[in-house]
Amino acid sequence: MTLEHFSDRLKATRKSKNLTQADLAHKLNIVTGTVSSYEQGLKYPSIEVLVNICQVLEISADFLLGVSDNFSLKMGGLTEEQEQPFLQLLSIVEQYNILKETNNKNKTEIT
């Protein structure tokens, strides 16, 4: 994993918590456009904001930054059946990232 996966993991985790970009921005006391920029990979949060993101989304910085693939999210008493859609979404995002990374490597090798 690389830092470029931060944006995908942030977006997937936000959605798994049923938050809009505006909701997350409000909880972080930042503007919605900033959250959008994070999710598009156009900019990255300061350490202070990163800590707040982790607290609000109840997830580790290691996972968001790609240091660890261990997903840790408190799902507040959800049943296994209720957790499955969230875990499937994260799996799809991870598969997409792998394909994207492979595609980028192939493009580099061709040129």
Neighbours of 14 (CB within 10 A): 21
Residue 49 has phi, psi (to 5 degrees) of: -70, -40
Classify residue 71 as left (phi > 0), alpha (psi -120 to 50) or beta. beta
**Which domains occur in the chain, in start order?**
3-110 (1.10.260.40)
The answer to whether residue 1 scores a pLDDT higher than 50 is no
Pick 96 or 32 by higher pLDDT.
32
pLDDT for the residue numbered 14 = 92
The answer to whether residue 105 scores a pLDDT higher than 90 is no
Over residues 14-71, the pLDDT tens digits come to: 998 999 999 999 999 999 999 999 999 899 999 999 999 999 998 888 888 877 665 5
- 21 neighbors 54 (Cβ within 8 angstroms): no
Over residues 62-95, the pLDDT tens digits come to: 888 877 665 555 566 767 787 777 777 777 877 8
Name, in order, each residue with C-beta under 8 angstroms of 64's C-beta and a sequence gap of 6 or more. 6, 9, 10, 13, 50, 53, 54
What's the DSSP call for residue 67?
S
Neighbours of 43 (CB within 10 A): 10
pLDDT for the residue numbered 22 = 97
Q: Count of residues for the chain?
A: 111
